[in-house]
């Protein structure tokens, strides 16, 4: 899902409560009948859109899509761009750390200075995935 809005000028301009609420709303639409562990994710793009995603599980467990996968699909489907702020939540609406694979997904589509709301507070992409492999390695 994607909505339009005013592009924040800096991380201080990010309404983290609203972004967390968007992640929690998305979590409510998760398809997680196997783990019963719904996850929701929300992010702001550089041009002010809010994109969201939720986990989508599968009877073939390994095929499961994390909430971040859905979010990145929503990002691309709604016009692409880069992520400035991100949060994901568990089934209680509590902030959750993105799994390692999904940190890689977020890294690919980060804006400079992408900030994540984490269990340790605000962290940069570089703090949650230091020395990352990325597109620049393939250039």
Q: Which residues are catalytic?
A: 68
For residue 66, what is the DSSP state? P
Query: Which CB sits closer to ligand THU, 9 or 36?
Result: 36
- Return the bridge partners of 10, or none: none
Residue 1 structure tokens: 């899902």
Among 2, 11, 21, 64, binds ligand THU (CB under 6 A): 64
Among 32, 105, 111, 132, binds ligand THU (CB under 6 A): 32
Q: Judged by CB under 6 A, does residue 55 bind ligand THU?
A: yes
What is the C-alpha to C-alpha distance for residues 107 and 34, in angstroms, rounded to an integer?
Answer: 28
Is the Cβ–Cβ distance between 67 and 41 less than 8 Å? yes
Taking contact as CB under 6 A, which single stretch among the options 5-13, 98-106, 108-116, 121-129 is the one that binds ligand THU? 98-106
């Amino acid at each position: 899902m994607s909505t339009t809005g005013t592009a924040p000028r800096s991380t201080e301009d990010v309404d983290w409560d609203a972004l967390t609420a968007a992640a929690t709303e998305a979590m409510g639409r998760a398809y997680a009948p196997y783990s019963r562990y719904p996850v929701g994710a929300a992010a702001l793009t550089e041009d002010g859109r809010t994109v969201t995603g939720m986990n989508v599980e599968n009877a073939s467990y390994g095929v499961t899509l994390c909430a971040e996968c859905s979010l990145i699909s929503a990002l691309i489907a709604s016009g692409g761009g880069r992520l400035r702020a991100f949060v994901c939540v568990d089934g209680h609406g509590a902030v959750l750390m993105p799994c390692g694979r999904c940190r890689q997904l977020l890294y690919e589509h980060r804006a400079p200075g992408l900030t994540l709301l984490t269990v340790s507070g605000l962290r940069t992409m570089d703090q949650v995935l230091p020395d990352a492999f990325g597109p620049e390695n393939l250039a």
